[in-house]
Amino acid sequence: MADSPTSRTLKRLRDQGYLADVVEKWIPGANIRRDLFGFVDVLAIKGGFVLAVQATSYSNVPARVNKIADHENLSFVRAAGWTIEVWGWHKVKNRWKVRIVDVS
């Protein structure tokens, strides 16, 4: 996972003191990835706080926000009190920057 949006997300969360891990699954044979609850790539916890992150490229942020907003499982995750964010990564002057959109 060298330098993917998911690996950058994990590093940033861990640097911020979260316990974080990838929760999407690879489905062999179908050759697809399946996100937890349909839209969570990374789950992070710190104290009593739970953060669900969809990690993507900067250009795909609007599509991911729409995907989550339209997902049938969104109300269940919100009811559990989780914060849901889309993290879109892009390079600016040779440094990685992240745009974070809260869709909780």
Domain definitions of the chain by residue range: 5-102
CB 58 within 8 A of CB 100: no
The token duo for 64 is 């991911």
The reported pLDDT for the residue numbered 41 is 94
Question: Considering the entire predicted model, what is its pTM?
Answer: 0.90
pLDDT tens, per residue, the chain with 104 residues:
458 999 999 999 999 999 999 998 888 888 888 888 999 999 999 999 999 999 999 999 999 999 999 999 999 999 999 999 999 999 999 899 999 999 99
The token duo for 7 is 């690996």
43: burial class by Cβ within 10 Å (0-12, 13-18, 19+)? buried
The reported pLDDT for the residue numbered 16 is 95
Fold classification of 5-102 is Trna Endonuclease; Chain: A, domain 1 (3.40.1350)
